[in-house]
Amino acid sequence: MPKVIHVAGTKGKGTTCYYCSRLLVEHRRITGEPTKVGCLTSPHQIDVRERILINNEKISKELFSSYVRELDSKIKSLLSRPDLGPPLAPKYPGFLSLLGIYIFISEKVDVAILETGTGGETDSTNVFPHPIATGITTIGLDHVEVLGHTVGEIAWHKAGIFKHGSLAGTVPQEEAVMQVLRTRAEERHVAGELEVITDQKVLEYGVKVDPDMPYQRYNAGLAIFMATAYLKSVDPNFSMTDEIARSLQDVELIGRSQVLEDGDTTWFISSGHNEISLKETISWFNQDVRRSRNPGTPRVLVFNQNFSRSSPRNPYPLLKVIQEGLRADVPVELQGVIFCTDQLGESREEKPDLIDLRTDRKLVSSLHDQRENSRIWKELGGLEEIAIVHTTRDAVRLVKEKYKGAEVLVTGSGYLTGNILHILRSTT
């Protein structure tokens, strides 16, 4: 069985996993150890295989398909056994978590870095009793219908990954969250005290992450803490080096604070499905366009979030965060706002990785959520020209036809950002 590093949180847990994996793979490049590093994250942006990496690489489509069939067969065999009680097949997120763990065990990885899906206490990844290290990234309100309506309740669930005798770390949190995390760490008898990781180590190693902002440095610091814990479990004399730490500067985070040039259009792409994510996204966008862009350049927002699916999110606070963020300090003015669906604009067979099967297709076709977004945007005081379009391909086409040389912020749903990335990569 692999040694395990387990990460939970509301914002930044996927990034922290990627960072941790990068550090261990860099150590492998220098020393040859560990031989195999597994990294399980969610959701994916373009290709479902992004979720399950070995040494920072996707496995082949053939091997991925083979493991899907193999695991599906085993699950069906178990479900047919009457002695195991009522059948309870895993749903899509749980199946992919199980698949990742199954692949890591089958491929004999030395260490598996696991990102929780939702919460922690009852999450499908929370099946290893003795992880080497656990980490909690920034906690805020999200998935309230499952985890609770206060940050304290949500923190309780996230801290469910803490284990007896395992190291536990977190980033700076609001006091209500920190109190819960400390209590849970004591109850679970973690190794030592819960360690609060600031960006001090990142600065000491001279690491410049992208974007170079406090929240991203916290994620990097937490990754250094957990990677060091694993490497010390193998070699007690290990200490982190500048060379290994600075490998974090080479990490490409797909769909996270990503800037792409497409002809005369600059795309700022960063998924943000909750208030914390959107605040950080707007802060990053503001900083970038204010620093280096032409003040006469048209700026456009492309946004979507499915509010009518099985796990609804209230659009009002999300759109309010965007407007308030753009108006803060030196305002960034938009010339246009485009609300679109998560539909790619291609056949369902062409890119199945980018289809959200939880949505009501008739409701999506009616543009219900997009019209509601438009109404709320205006109610909040937005005076920009608004367009509502059916697909992400329509949104890209409209930007190129109407807003020449624009700087375009794409945020909201991960399906939206994944679609835009897919379109841009296929045309450049």
pTM: 0.92
- The dihedral of CA 170, 207, 329, 402: what is its sign? negative
- The CA-atom distances, in angstroms, between 388 and each of 80, 218, 282 are 48, 37, 21
Q: Do 167 and 195 touch, CB atoms closer than 8 A?
A: yes
CB atoms within 10 A of CB 367: 17
CA 183 to chain centroid:
27
- Taking the domains of the chain in order of start, what are their residue ranges? 3-250, 258-427
CA 332 to chain centroid:
26
Q: Rounded to a whole number, what is the distance in angstroms from the first to the last CA of the chain?
A: 42
Query: Nearest Cα to 93, choosing from 55, 143, 19?
Result: 143
Identity at 367, one-letter amino acid code: L
For 418, the 3-state DSSP assignment is: helix
- State the Cα–Cα distance between residues 338 and 320, nearest whole angstrom: 16
CA 293 to chain centroid:
27
Q: Do domains 3-250 and 258-427 have the same CATH topology?
A: no
- State the Cα–Cα distance between residues 380 and 319, nearest whole angstrom: 8
According to DSSP, the β-strands at 111-115 and 167-170 are: unpaired
The fold for domain 3-250 equals: UDP-N-acetylmuramoyl-L-alanine:D-glutamate ligase (3.40.1190)
- The CA-atom distances, in angstroms, between 102 and each of 60, 64, 99, 107 are 16, 11, 5, 8
Residue that the structure tokens 């065999």 belong to: 77
Q: What is the pLDDT along the chain (428 residues), one digit of tens a residue?
A: 999 999 999 999 999 999 999 999 999 999 999 999 999 999 999 999 999 999 999 999 999 999 999 999 999 998 888 887 776 888 999 999 999 999 999 999 999 999 999 899 999 999 999 999 999 999 988 777 778 779 999 999 999 999 999 999 999 999 999 999 999 999 999 999 999 999 998 999 999 999 899 999 999 999 999 999 999 999 999 999 999 999 999 999 999 999 999 999 999 999 988 888 999 999 999 988 876 667 678 999 999 987 754 445 688 999 999 999 998 867 788 999 999 998 887 655 456 666 666 666 677 778 989 999 999 999 999 989 999 999 999 999 999 999 999 999 999 999 999 999 999 988 76
Domain formed by 258-427, architecture: Alpha-Beta Complex (3.90)
Tokens of 69: 């069939």
Let me know the angle formed at the C-alpha of 370 by 265 and 427, rounded to the nearest 5 degrees: 30
Q: 55-64: which pairs have CB atoms within 8 A and are 24 or more residues apart?
A: 55/25, 55/28, 56/21, 56/22, 56/25, 59/103, 59/107
Which class for 369: exposed (0-12), middle (13-18), buried (19 or more C-beta within 10 A)?
A: buried
